[in-house]
Amino acid sequence: MSEASPPAHEVLNQSPPFVDVDLFALDVPLAEAVAANGGANAAQELSEFGRHWGSVAMAERGRIANENTPKLRAFDSRGNRRDEVEFHPAYHELMARSTHAGLHNSTWSADGRPAGAPAEVVRAAKFYMAAGVETGHLCPITMTRASVAALSAQPDLLASTMPVIGNRAYDPTFAPWTTKRGMTLGMGMTEKQGGTDVRSNMTRATRDGDAYRITGHKWFMSAPMCDAFLVLAQAERGLSCFFMPRFRPDGTVNAIQFQRLKDKLGNRSNASSEVEFFGAYGRRVGEEGKGIRTIIQMVQLTRQDCAIASVGLMRSGLAHALHHARYRSVFQKHLADQPLMRSVLSDMALHVEASIALVMRLCRAFDRAAVEPDEAAYMRLLTPAIKYWTCKSAPGFLYEAMECLGGNGYVEEGILARHYRESPVNAIWEGSGNVMCLDVLRALSTEAGTAMGTLQQLAREATGLPGVASATAFIEKAFRRPDAEGAARLAVEKLALLAAVAALNAVAPRHAELFAITRLVGNHGAMYGAVDLAHEDVGRLLDRALPA
Ligand SMILES: Cc1cc2nc3c(=O)[nH]c(=O)nc-3n(C[C@H](O)[C@H](O)[C@H](O)COP(=O)(O)OP(=O)(O)OC[C@H]3O[C@@H](n4cnc5c(N)ncnc54)[C@H](O)[C@@H]3O)c2cc1C
């Protein structure tokens, strides 16, 4: 019997885990942005959610669900097709918690109409907190929520699915959706020959009585254990949208065969499949030939969620970095007290403050678009611009947050490596960066008057702040150029920055001024911390980001 070795050393100067916290109470910019956009009364509900998702148990579920990735069981032991994906129980727990909180349905009323203000803002605050803990499982959650917008084009289908979508129950059993307590929906558009250009879809749909038989493939179709998918396919009158359930109405398994699961950089708790349809049963959603118009209603909402999730990831990175810096000493001084580290952290805090103010402002527009034309115009022009800017800034931000933790940031036991690998996907799916810029240009060409009205509104909301007048003039000029496409990234980035200044001005005017000085006036270096903020501004930004 060998004797246990005495410890070789004492563990010193390491930060405790950032868990068992109230993710809402610790996030002053979030609470203020929620209140400024109509959600003040939800503070208690959000704090309960924040405590639950900030618990050590939820953090563990996130880690375990990503370490134990989904497995495709294409066949059973006798060679019969199964086409099921197995997930670790931790993934199912995450799904159940998000569903229980209504992340998949709370923006809809029981009949599938928008629930009205402040449902979008309140749900977005929860979605943002959940994204900071585990983002992969939010893919089917967001698609289910968004699918309702497309199903609205087919009122009978909406009426029959809403009683199931509208439940706050997660039911992972592999059974017909009509028999279940809750259901999830996915989306199949991308084929091998084209993801952006879905008009190139080759999957075909032929009429079969009231329904259709769908034959073809999808190169990316996430969350294959969803109960149904909204799928694009070519019908007689052109590209159309179809509701394709996992089971046919007679209860037999639909002809949906998963070829394999993608081996992804991040987003590993979530399954994304390659799939073939062999005359699969489908029901049309909306008019034949109007598939893009139908599914774009859904995509608008998934884009919104990409932006919210990206900001949630950045917030989590900031909180972990700041927490660590308050415990870790280097050269006899806490990192959080080293002037250079304070510059980095406060500049990151400013980025997150502006980002959360911006996405909450966007969600307010979603809340009010049905009744306020100005808000509908804001939503139309700024959804792609905000998706572009928030999603594309997340990987660089998370890399910097990771570096604040030094070597600990780079290893898989911490959450930052996972966040970093997760972050690029939000820019790629649901319309990649260039596609978002082209969509802003499309809004400007098809609805020029209202789009320019929104620009003027932003300028008014940020009036007097440094750089606002010149940024507005620049954006206007850039978008009027006949060759606007070539300079669209610059103009769209400036548009998002201007909108962020305007949104932050309604929440924290001094910080809107700092953001305008550092981002619009043109003095911001390429790296976080390459700014020269006053001592008291730095202190206030850090205290708000994570009250000590
Ligand atoms: C993890 C993951 C999960 C996914 N899940 C799903 C899913 O569930 N359902 C689904 O349908 N799809 C899904 N996708 C696919 C995703 O939506 C597409 O990858 C995306 O839309 C881009 O399409 P693509 O890959 O065909 O690239 P392309 O369309 O070939 O685009 C390549 C690049 O060209 C740029 N580009 C495109 N057009 C232009 C232009 N006119 N001018 C300048 N630049 C342009 C794009 O911005 C992009 O950067 C998923 C992807 C990933 C990574």
- Write the pLDDT tens digit of every residue in 209-258: 999 999 999 999 999 999 999 999 999 999 999 999 999 999 999 999 99
Whether the link from the prior residue into 245 is cis, omega within 30° of 0, is no
518 — pLDDT class (breaks 50, 70, 90): very high
Specify the ligand 1 atom closest to the Cα of 432: 47
- The rounded distance, in Å, linking the Cα atoms of 266 and 357 is 27
| Rounded CA separation 324/247 (Å) | 49
Give the residue-averaged pLDDT of 308-318.
98
- Residue pair 381/442 in contact (Cβ under 8 Å)? The answer is no
Task: Measure 196 CA to ligand 1 centroid, in angstroms.
Answer: 5
The average confidence (pLDDT) of the chain is 97
The pTM assigned to this predicted structure is 0.98
Q: Of the candidates 198, 48, 213, which has an alpha carbon nearest to the alpha carbon of residue 125?
A: 48
Q: How far apart are CA 206 and CA 215, in angstroms?
A: 9
Tell me how far apart the alpha carbons of residues 241 and 286 are, in angstroms, rounded to a whole number.
7
Residue with the nearest Cα to atom 52 of ligand 1? 429
Query: For ligand 1, atom 17, which residue shows the shortest CA distance?
Result: 429
- Asked if the model's pLDDT at residue 2 lies above 90, the reply is no
CA atoms within 13 A on the CB side of 472: 22
Ligand 1 pocket: which of 265, 435, 436 to mutate (most atoms <8 Å of CB)? 435
116 Cβ partners below 8 Å, 6+ apart?
A: 109, 367, 370
CA-CA distance, 501 to 389, in Å (whole number)? 13
Which of 185, 220, 425, when mutated, tests ligand 1's pocket best, judged by the most ligand atoms within 8 Å of its CB?
220
Residue with more model confidence, 118 or 3: 118
Whether residue 127 is predicted with pLDDT greater than 70 in this model: the reply is: yes
Q: What is the DSSP string of 246-288?
A: SB-TTSSBPSEEEEEE---SS-TTS-EEEEEEEEEEEEEESST
Residue 523: predicted pLDDT: 62
Calculate the CA dihedral of residues 34, 110, 272, 268 and round it to 10 degrees: 40
429, 440, 442, best to mutate for ligand 1 pocket (most atoms within 8 Å of CB): 429
Burial 313-336 (b: 16+ CB within 10 A, else e): bbbbbbbbbbbbbbebeeeeeebb
Work out the average pLDDT over 261-274. Answer: 98
Cβ 271 vs Cβ 87: under 8 Å = yes
CA distance 229 to 340: 50
Longest Cα separation, the chain? 84
Q: How confident is the model at residue 3 (pLDDT cuts 50, 70, 90)?
A: low
So what's the pLDDT on residue 86? 98
Give kind and range of the element (H or E) at residue 538: helix 535-545
Backbone φ and ψ for 347, nearest 5 degrees, come out as -65, -40
Contacts of residue 375, Cβ cutoff 8 Å, sequence gap at least 6: 364, 365, 367, 368, 369
SS3 499: helix
Tally DSSP H helices, then E strands, for the chain.
18, 11
